[in-house]
């Protein structure tokens, strides 16, 4: 039987610490590394980051859009980043935020969550705003292949509140309803469910019980967006052990030296461990 993503993630977090290292080859970051904003610059940037970070962090999170902008050559680099990161022992969370209906969602599942695909990742981010059950092909394919899905719930961008904090006829927020459905999908899973929520580290006091999700909580917003390890602890409270805080720009700005990237990852991981493992 395939080991679940939740079990694999729990082991990786316990062994390597909570940090999720984003690989976002933004044009400005390529320029800051004195690299051209073209497929060759992309390849040097992304593979340098993967080789420096993947051996020491639990999760590597490539942002698909920054690879896709270069067309087929960019996607080929993304395939290499995924393979390089997994070979170094990191779990790969592909940040693509896919969401659609029916056979299209199944095609996304086949592209990202099927081991036969060259883009097979350990987990994928997904958007539930066509209805949570529209993601069923992703969830089912992930379960079959020991993969995971991280579903947008309370995102770090301020515009998200317009939809995510809206209330239904029962007074439940849209985000709260998504968290409830994730909790149901993860019910009984040990040591951790495979279906996670994306909850920004900048959202403040949401009033949600994140422990009920029984799954991982991807927390973007650390660093460049202003959140600190202490903020992560405040937002998630008793669920802190299940949080996967993500940072990309602040970490990647320490390059292009592989040693500087590795040292920055270690410092961030140490700070997060201290904050998230603290009692209370």
Can you give the pLDDT at residue 278? 64
Percent of the chain with pLDDT over 90: 88
Q: Which CATH number characterizes residue 193's domain?
A: 3.20.20.70
Helix/strand/coil for 228: coil
Supply the residues annotated as catalytic: 97
Does the residue 232 lie in any domain? no
Does the residue 228 lie in any domain? no
Angle, nearest 10°, between helix axes 39-53 and 71-87?
10
Ramachandran angles phi, psi of 195, nearest 5° = -110, 115
Kindly report the pTM of this predicted structure: 0.96
Q: How confident is the model at residue 206 (pLDDT cuts 50, 70, 90)?
A: confident
Helical (H) or strand (E) element with 195: strand 195-199
Does the residue 235 lie in any domain? no
Does the residue 177 lie in any domain? yes
Does the residue 233 lie in any domain? no
Does the residue 236 lie in any domain? no
pLDDT at 28 over 50: yes
Tell me how many domains the chain contains.
Answer: 1
Q: Which domain holds residue 39?
A: 5-223+243-277
- In angstroms, the CA 24 to CA 223 distance is 14
Region 217-223: mean pLDDT is 91
Can you give the pLDDT at residue 175? 95
CA distances 221 to 4, 14, 110, Å, are 27, 22, 29
- In angstroms, the CA 215 to CA 270 distance is 23
Closest CA to 272 of 240, 249, 248: 240
* Mean of pLDDT over the chain: 95
Can you give the pLDDT at residue 204? 82
Pairing of strands 243-247, 59-62: unpaired
Q: How confident is the model at residue 279 (pLDDT cuts 50, 70, 90)?
A: low
Can you give the pLDDT at residue 1? 45
Does the residue 216 lie in any domain? yes
pLDDT at 224 over 80: no
Q: How confident is the model at residue 44 (pLDDT cuts 50, 70, 90)?
A: very high
Closest CA to 219 of 196, 243, 237: 243
Region 141-168: mean pLDDT is 93
pLDDT at 6 over 60: yes
Per DSSP, what are the bridge partners of residue 173? 167
Per-residue pLDDT tens over the stretch 54-91:
999 999 999 999 999 999 999 999 999 999 999 999 99
Does the residue 155 lie in any domain? yes
């Amino acid at each position: 039987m395939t080991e679940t993503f939740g079990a694999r993630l729990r082991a990786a977090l316990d062994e390597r610490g909570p940090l999720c290292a984003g690989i976002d080859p933004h044009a400005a970051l390529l320029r800051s590394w004195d690299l051209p904003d073209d497929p060759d610059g992309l390849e040097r940037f992304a593979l340098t980051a993967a080789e420096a970070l993947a051996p020491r962090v639990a999760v590597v999170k490539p942002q698909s859009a920054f690879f896709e902008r270069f067309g087929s050559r960019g996607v080929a680099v993304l395939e290499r980043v995924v393979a390089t990161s997994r070979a170094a022992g990191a779990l790969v969370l592909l940040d693509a935020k896919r969401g659609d209906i029916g056979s299209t969602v199944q095609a996304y599942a086949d592209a990202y969550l099927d081991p036969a695909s060259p883009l097979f990742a350990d987990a994928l981010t997904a958007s539930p705003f066509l209805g949570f059950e529209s993601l069923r092909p992703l969830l089912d394919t992930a379960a079959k292949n020991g993969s995971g899905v991280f579903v947008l719930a309370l995102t770090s961008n301020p515009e998200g509140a317009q939809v995510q904090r809206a209330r239904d006829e029962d007074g439940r927020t849209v985000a709260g309803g998504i968290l409830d459905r994730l909790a149901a999908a993860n019910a009984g899973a040990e040591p951790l469910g495979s279906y996670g929520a994306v909850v920004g580290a900048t959202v403040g006091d949401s009033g949600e019980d994140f422990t009920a999700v029984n799954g991982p909580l991807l927390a973007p917003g650390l660093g460049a967006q202003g959140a600190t390890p202490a903020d992560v602890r405040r937002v998630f409270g008793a669920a802190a052990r299940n949080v996967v805080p993500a940072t990309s720009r602040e970490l990647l700005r320490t390059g292009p030296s592989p040693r500087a990237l590795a040292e920055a990852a270690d410092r961030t991981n140490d700070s997060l461990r201290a904050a998230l493992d603290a009692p209370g």
